[in-house]
Each structure stands twice: as C-alpha cells, then as structure tokens.
Amino acid sequence: MSVTRQSRVPDLNGAEDDTGRKASARKTLPDKPTRVVAADVRVWQRVGDVWRYRELLLSLVRKELKIKYKNSTLGFVWSMLNPMLTLIVYYFVFQVVLHNGIPQFALYLLCGLLVWNFFSTALPGATQAVVGNAGIVKKVSFPREVLALAPVGAALFFFGLQALILIAALLVFGVMPAWSYVPLLIPAVAGLVLFASALAIFLSAVNVYLRDTQHLLELVLMAWFWGTPIAYQYQLVANRLPAVHLPTWVFLLNPITPVVITFQRALYARPDPVSATGAVIQLLPSNVDLMWYLAPLLGVIVASGVLYVGALAVFNRLEGNFAEEL
C-alpha cells in the first residue's frame, strides 16, 4: 500500500477573514512560497512506512554497495582486507614489539573494532543521505527516512563480511568462544543496529538545515571511540570510577560499551587471562554471570527504540521544508 505525502497548501479560491467575509485569491496568495513546517504524516505511520517500503530500502542498500566499489577489481574483498590487515598490524605492534602481556590482544581489540567499524561507517553516510539525494527528494514522494537507513543496511552487510575474518582469526589462533555467551550477540547486534538507525534518521534531517553536522560528527566519533573500551580494558576504567565517587555502571551509559564488552566476552572469551609472566590481567568482570551482560543490552534496545521514535518525530517535523532547503 503506497502512501502519498503532501504538504498543506493555502486555498487559492478564497479564505474567510476575521469579519467572516471572503478574501480574494489574490490577497491570500503570498508574495513568497508558503513555508511548511511539517509533513502531514503521523510518527507511527512512519514506523510502518519503513516496513512497507522495505523493497525500496533494499534497493537503496544495493545501490550503496555498488557505488562503494564501483569499477573496483576486488570489490567486496576490500572490506575483508581491512580487518585482516588491522589484525596483522595490531598483532605485530602489541605482541611482538610492545609485549603488552595480554594473550592474543589483537583478537580482543578486533572484537571491539568490529562493532565500532559498523557504527562509524553507518553514521557519516546516513548523515549526508538526504542532502546527497536532493534530486529525488525534490521530485519523488516516498518516506525519506529510508535514505538514512540505507547506509546503515550497507554497513551491516560489511559488518557481516568483517565478522567472517574475525571468526577465521579465532580458528587460526585456536581461541574458543564462550558458547554460553554467544547467544548474547543477537541482542547486542539488535541494539547496535537500532541505536545506529535512530541516530542516522535524526542526523540526516538535522544536516539538511545545519550542514556543519556532518563535520562535527567526525570530531564526536573520534572522542566517542576513546570513550569506549576498545583499545583498552573495560575493567581498567571500572576499577577507577569508585575512586572519583562514581558507580561502575556509569561506564555502561555509553550505548556502545555494553555491545563491545559483550562481543569481547563471547568471542575473546577470557575476562581475566594470565600473561606469560603468570600475572592475571583483568580485562572484563570475572565474577559476574550472563545476566550482567544481558541487562545493559536490553537497556540499549529499549532506549534505542525510544530514540528511534523520537528521531522519526524530529524527521517528521523537519521534512516539510527539505525541498526548500535543498
């Protein structure tokens, strides 16, 4: 069922003035185009539109994938070479050169980078999605939020390819996942995708009016990366928070942190490995059960769902003037 979106326009046949008399069409016609503040579409209708226009969304995702490696000989292989080279470099730096003492630290690092690569790839593309497709936004009636979701879908595809490299690396290094924690990867990925989708829709709409958004995002992502336990241990920060009178759960308020540590716990599988010198290294909490990881993941899903609806509301409020701003 197709949904046609139209903006409300003034009645040029005449309108009643304050005294109840008819005003002429010439008087009601403004000198400049009427500025519409919102599209006439309900937020909950927009939620359903994403599903109803799923074929269009898939077509846009395929378009994103084709454009990324257009005229490339290796094509999607490049997406797999990136994490492979990252693994080799980090293994050489941390294991051979620095001797940091953490067994297979490169694998621990790659578990977090897999999550971050999806997030940092999806958002920049989504932020520029509406502006970059100004031509069809002005001419065709369709739910424009699918433009922002297409880069998220493309990033999810590359996430799957890079996950294959991580799985292969685990086999090569003989690291066995913690099978009891592997099912947690499902809510972890669901929360990650939903959170990225919410931000994608919001940023794509704001960027139409404030073009500096796409540049500011680069700085925010840089700071966000170092605020997430990817290149360092989660427990390193968690152990220091009580010293500054903060509870350890404050670190989990970063929505990416629960996802990252779940991947690390399930795939790297060693919360407190023993170094070559016999010292125990605390990477993740070792005295917690599966529910400790599941609870914040459910919180991310619920919070992301609320943010998703809120992002659609903002998009609904701003979409009416996209054509004028573009």
Closest CA to 194 of 112, 290, 111, 122: 122
pLDDT at residue number 138:
79
pLDDT at residue number 75:
65
Q: Tell me which DSSP letter residue 184 carries.
A: G
Spatial contact of 153 and 74, defined as CB atoms under 8 Å apart: no
pLDDT at residue number 29:
40
- 12: in domain: no
- 295: in domain: yes
Spatial contact of 152 and 200, defined as CB atoms under 8 Å apart: yes
Strand partners, 15: 23
CA–CA separation, 133 and 109 (whole Å): 36
pLDDT at residue number 325:
74
- 187: in domain: yes
Which pTM value belongs to this model? Answer: 0.81
pLDDT at residue number 3:
43
- 27: in domain: no
* CA 6 to the chain's CA centroid: 30
Domain of 255, in residue numbers: 42-325
Closest CA to 69 of 167, 162, 196, 154: 154
Give pLDDT tens digits along the chain (326 positions): 444 444 333 343 444 444 444 444 344 444 444 344 444 567 777 777 788 888 888 988 888 888 877 766 666 677 777 777 877 887 777 777 766 677 888 889 899 999 999 999 999 999 998 888 888 887 777 788 899 999 999 999 989 988 998 999 899 888 899 999 999 999 999 999 999 999 999 999 999 898 889 899 999 999 999 999 998 899 999 989 988 889 988 999 999 999 999 999 999 988 888 776 777 888 898 888 899 999 999 999 999 999 999 999 988 888 877 777 76
- The number of domains in the chain is 1
- 146: in domain: yes
pLDDT at residue number 15:
41
Alpha helices in 53-104, H assignment, sequence order: 54-68, 77-90
Spatial contact of 45 and 5, defined as CB atoms under 8 Å apart: no
Strand partners, 23: 15
C-alpha dist (Å) from residue 292 to 19, 189, 200, 238, 253? 67, 17, 29, 14, 14
- 223: in domain: yes
CA–CA separation, 309 and 165 (whole Å): 34
CA–CA separation, 80 and 88 (whole Å): 13
How does 24-42 read in b/e, with b if 16+ C-beta sit within 10 Å? eeeeeeeeeeeebeebebe
pLDDT at residue number 127:
92
pLDDT at residue number 13:
41
- 292: in domain: yes
- 8: in domain: no
Residue pointed to by tokens 């880069």? 151
pLDDT at residue number 178:
93
C-alpha dist (Å) from residue 231 to 28, 195, 274? 63, 22, 19
pLDDT at residue number 252:
92
CA–CA separation, 297 and 286 (whole Å): 18
The sign of the torsion formed by the CA atoms of 68, 74, 76, 82 equals: negative
The sign of the torsion formed by the CA atoms of 87, 91, 93, 94 equals: positive
pLDDT at residue number 40:
52
